[in-house]
Amino acid sequence: MQRITFNPYDVLGLREHATVEEIKNARRELIKKSPHETHPEEARKINEAYQMLIDKVRRSEVDRFLNSKQGSLLEIQKHFLSDKVKKTLFEVEQIDFEKDFTILPKELDFEADFLLDLLNLYLDNKSTV
């Protein structure tokens, strides 16, 4: 029984009911993008995932594992606590804290009526006028 530490479907970007043809095509395309010479680690993982799925016995073990509690917990830890999830959850709205706080306009628009009310109030408060 092989030890399963990752989901090979995820690595190859496949659905769980993928056909043999789809598995082969996925490997071919991914290796083209990440060849051994330049991406040895990724290529190794792609090949490992491919081997896990192309072999019928190993694939059935993978499927059993993924549908077990242990497999579910592995996937939860990987996908539900991923950097992407954390970023989405903890990313806060960007606020411009200096947003026109530091600039005072030289002039403002005032309604003429406000000025008339101000004059009225001024006259009421200044008995010397």
| CA–CA–CA angle 30, 34, 36 (5° rounding) | 115
Surface-to-core class of residue 32, CB atoms within 10 Å of its CB (0-12 exposed, 13-18 middle, 19+ buried): exposed
Specify the residue, 28 or 118, whose C-beta has the smaller distance to another protein: 118
Scan for tokens 């109030």, then name that residue: 121
Choose the stretch contacting another protein; rule: CB under 8 A; options: 22-30, 39-47, 48-56, 106-114. 106-114
| Residue 76 DSSP code | I
Residue 64: count of CB within 10 angstroms of its CB: 12
Binding residue (CB under 8 A) for another protein from 32, 38, 83, 95: 95
Q: Is 102 in the site for another protein (CB under 8 A)?
A: yes
| Residue 92 DSSP code | P
Window 34-93: residues binding another protein (CB under 8 A): 66-69, 71-73, 75-77, 79-81, 85-86, 88-90, 92-93
> Interface with another protein by CB under 8 A: which residues?
16, 66-69, 71-73, 75-77, 79-81, 85-86, 88-90, 92-93, 95, 97, 99-102, 104-126, 128-129
